Chain A
Amino acid sequence: MSATVIGNKSIKELLDKYTFAQSFLEQNNLVIDGKEHLTMKEYLASFTVEEAEDMALDPHTILMGFEEYIQQMLSFLGEDKSDVESLTINAGKDKTGKQESFGSFTIKTGEIIAIVGPTGSGKSRLLGDIEWVAQRDTPTSREILINGEKPDFKWRFSTSDKLVAQLSQNMNFVMDLTVAEFLDLHAESRMVENKKDIIEKIITCANDLAGEKFERELPITSLSGGQSRALMISDTAILSKSPIILIDEIENAGIDRKKALSFLLSQDKIVLMATHDPMLALLGDKRIVIKNGGIHKIIETTKEERSMLKEIEAVDQKVQNLRASLRQGEILKPESFN
């Protein structure tokens, strides 16, 4: 549908046909009350020159924008929701210009890949390559394929349809809203249908991950660090359409990290995680070792490592128990460690 077609439809017709058009009018501060019968063009023409100047309103731009918005929403709503099944990294060059030796590496949904390497080695650059679906046009000259094919460039620029969701270390909530209001807002921007159920599900899962439970009516800014992380993970896993999740080290405090990861995987995501924590690194199926800007090695977690994982988890569990005891105001004794 072109801008002229939209311009010639009555506002009522547009709102009936495209329920999402309401938010466009709202966000552009266009008050319709009682003018639904006008066509969009008539409505925009109903402002005097002075009013239009006051509102900094350009009818042509609004019409063009409205058309673009409707097109974007239609294609967003019409899309198959889970169309990413694999991600392939084709080798590029390290910082000295030397060819990376791994050839090609494919990650499938449901896999966890850890990324390890010293500071400045190029971990973030690798994550950046994935987010930008690099086509040999970044400093590393790597190429990223989706489902084995050259990707659609929509991944680079779409706001509703990002390839990658990120959870990073020092994230916070800054909005002045309760947990429920906040999730409602997010669900709205994602255009989900069964909003209520989804919000309940997110809160339940978040409470399952968090050390301490929280209420839906609590302001998000007053959640503890652990609760915030739990809510972010639960929300990202359930509401974000992005098939790939990048994690910059999930902090230990107040959240069950193993549960969090398996929860993300249960939502058919690909998880890439920069970490130095042995438990998390070994939870991954494979780990990418970065050195000097290049992928130096790709190591599959060995059987032996997996068996060590049990011990590491046991130690981790003990520390968690100690933490829980401290929280409860108990006095720790040597036997608390058993």
Chain B
Amino acid sequence: MNLVTVSGPPSSGKTAVILKTIESYQKQEISVGVIKFDCLYTDDDIVYEKAGIKVRKGLSGGLCPDHYFVSNIEEAFAWGQKENFDVLISESAGLCNRCSPYIKDIKAICVIDNLSGINTPRKIGPMLKSADIVVITKGDIVSQAEREVFASRVSMVNPKAIVMHVNGLTGQGSFELGTLLYDKKLDTDNLKGKELRFSMPSALCSYCLGEKRIGADYQMGNVRKINLEK
């Protein structure tokens, strides 16, 4: 089975792009399942089910969603194998722009939209910078010039990536994206021992552990102070 990790800022069009891409597979009889990771809430599972796609979801709740992803992707992978998928796609919303759920040797796709502003590419860390394919959505709403400027900014922070435009509403570009996703030769048996592309932050402070009170007395572990001097 192929595993493809799709990530990107909230509402950037991940689900829309994945749905259109899977649609383009139907004639080729490639079977695809989706595992959705999110933090507090998602109804993406309903959207996928409606489209006739097998889906599971995991909510990280009080945990960092990317940490939650790493601790659960192996089980998700096993589920996909049991279901006999050709491709399992994981969808996760990048929340803090710092982490990414990308794994070495596993195809990594970042979905980002044209409306997010031209300074957004430099604000996003490894989620954008270490992706193999960057999909830019919502090009239908902005001018050709804005698309060009945005894409060139994306290329500048990740020159090695393939940058593609996909319209999540009409599906324009999704067939083309589909040809880059599935490759029988890239089948993987299991994820044990594989590594993340980029380490997660080493943060662990009293607030991570449930502390609520404000004040220096309550702060323990990895605490860093803001510098307000000019």
Q: A interface vs B, CB < 8 Å?
A: 23-24, 26-29, 53, 56, 58, 61, 64-66, 68-69, 72, 124, 128, 132, 137-139, 156-157, 159-160, 162, 165-168, 170-175, 182-183, 185-186, 189-190, 228, 232, 235-236, 239-240
A61 touches B129 (CB 8 A): yes
Q: Closest chain B residue to A169 by CB distance?
A: B140
A54 to chain B, nearest CB (A): 8
Contact residue among A159, A170, A174, A239 (Cβ-Cβ distance under 8 Å from B151): A159
Q: B interface vs A, CB < 8 Å?
A: 27, 98, 114-115, 117-118, 121-122, 125-126, 129-130, 139-146, 148-149, 151-160, 162-164, 170, 172-173, 175-176, 179, 198-199, 201-202
30 A-B interface contacts by CB (under 8 A):
A26-B122, A27-B122, A27-B153, A53-B199, A56-B198, A58-B126, A58-B198, A64-B160, A65-B129, A65-B158, A68-B160, A124-B172, A128-B175, A138-B175, A139-B27, A139-B175, A159-B151, A166-B139, A168-B140, A171-B142, A171-B144, A173-B142, A173-B146, A174-B114, A174-B146, A175-B118, A183-B145, A185-B118, A235-B145, A240-B148
| Contact (A160, B155) CB under 8 Å given A128-B172, A139-B175, A172-B142 | yes
B178 to chain A, nearest CB (A): 10
A160 touches B146 (CB 8 A): no
- When distances are taken between beta carbons in the complex, the residues of chain A under 8 Å from B115 are 174
| Contact (A235, B130) CB under 8 Å given A72-B159, A139-B27 | no
A182 to B143, CA, bound (A): 11
A214 to chain B, nearest CB (A): 15
A193 to chain B, nearest CB (A): 17
Contact residue among B157, B160, B201 (Cβ-Cβ distance under 8 Å from A27): B157
B145 touches A132 (CB 8 A): no
- When distances are taken between beta carbons in the complex, the residues of chain A under 8 Å from B142 are 171-174
Contact residue among A26, A53, A167 (Cβ-Cβ distance under 8 Å from B201): A53
B168 to chain A, nearest CB (A): 14
A172 to B144, CA, bound (A): 9
- When distances are taken between beta carbons in the complex, the residues of chain A under 8 Å from B125 are 56
Given contacts A56-B125, A232-B145, 20 further A-B contacts (CB under 8 A): A23-B156, A26-B122, A27-B121, A28-B122, A56-B98, A58-B129, A58-B130, A64-B160, A65-B158, A68-B159, A69-B155, A69-B159, A171-B140, A171-B143, A173-B142, A174-B114, A174-B142, A175-B118, A228-B143, A236-B145
Contact residue among A53, A124, A159 (Cβ-Cβ distance under 8 Å from B154): A159
A172 touches B143 (CB 8 A): yes
B141 touches A174 (CB 8 A): yes
A289 to chain B, nearest CB (A): 21
A189 to B144, CA, bound (A): 13
| Contact (A28, B156) CB under 8 Å given A170-B140, A174-B146 | yes
A165 touches B157 (CB 8 A): no
Pick the most buried of A24, A168, A173, A228: most chain B CB atoms within 10 A of its CB: A168
B148 touches A24 (CB 8 A): no
A186 to B148, CA, bound (A): 8
- When distances are taken between beta carbons in the complex, the residues of chain B under 8 Å from A24 are 156
| Contact (A232, B143) CB under 8 Å given A27-B153, A160-B155 | yes
A72 to B152, CA, bound (A): 11
| Contact (A61, B130) CB under 8 Å given A159-B155, A168-B140, A175-B118 | yes
- When distances are taken between beta carbons in the complex, the residues of chain B under 8 Å from A168 are 140
Pick the most buried of A64, A72, A189: most chain B CB atoms within 10 A of its CB: A189
